[in-house]
Amino acid sequence: MKRYQQGLGMITAIIILVILAALAAAIAVFSSTQHLTSAQDVLSARAWQAARAGNEWGLFMARNAGTGWASGTACAPSAVAGTPGVAQTRAINLNAELGFTVTVTCVATFFNEGESSVAPGVPKTFALYTITSQASNGANVTSPTYVERTRVVIAEVQLTL
């Protein structure tokens, strides 16, 4: 009586189990990465909106000569045309609303361009406001949940006719 070899089914089952375990591990890694990426996308959108809110606040304060800046003075241009004025900065705490702190900086520069239509020979005066808004969620920079966005807005305002 001849004996046939047995046990090939057991080896095949072990190989299939190892392949399925590797596939499950890969799926778990991809799933974890997908969740982290999705969370970063949401935080990024919130940071963008927080920075936008900072820009709008800065433009409002600059245009209306608001004194809400940290120094208590308005964002005003220097007395010399083309020379930037003193930068005004303000930190806005939006942690309760969005979970971000926004730092808004305003620099104003005035310049002359063209001639006044009301008083010939007198140059038109414009102010150029550069509003920089930086939103950060306050997490450690090395953290995977750290998000920071910066927006820069430049607005030109005619000061004289």
Residues 6 or more apart whose CB falls under 8 angstroms from that of 39 comprise: 145
- Of 83, 102, 66, the C-alpha closest to 75 is 66
Per-position DSSP letters for 139-160, written without gaps between them: --TTSTT--EEEEEEEEEEE--
Strand order through the sheet with 148-158: 88-94, 100-115, 123-136, 148-158
What pLDDT was estimated at residue 160? 72
pLDDT band at 97 (very low <50, low <70, confident <90, very high): confident
Percent of the chain with pLDDT over 70: 95
Is the model's pLDDT at 6 over the cut of 80?
Answer: no
CA distance 110 to 128: 6
Burial of residue 150 (number of CB atoms within 10 Å: 0-12, 13-18, 19+): middle
Residues 6 or more apart whose CB falls under 8 angstroms from that of 152 comprise: 130, 131, 132, 133
Domain boundaries, the chain: 8-158
pLDDT band at 86 (very low <50, low <70, confident <90, very high): confident
**Tokens, residue 16:** 């299939």
CA distance 67 to 57: 12
**pTM for the whole thing?**
0.74
What pLDDT was estimated at residue 81? 80
Percent of the chain with pLDDT over 90: 39
Stretch 51-57: mean pLDDT, rounded?
A: 94
Stretch 95-111: mean pLDDT, rounded?
A: 90
Does residue 40 contact residue 145 with C-beta atoms inside 8 Å? yes
What pLDDT was estimated at residue 2? 74
What pLDDT was estimated at residue 7? 67
Q: What is the pLDDT of residues 116-151, one digit of tens each?
A: 888 888 888 888 999 999 999 987 888 888 999 999
Is the model's pLDDT at 153 over the cut of 90?
Answer: yes
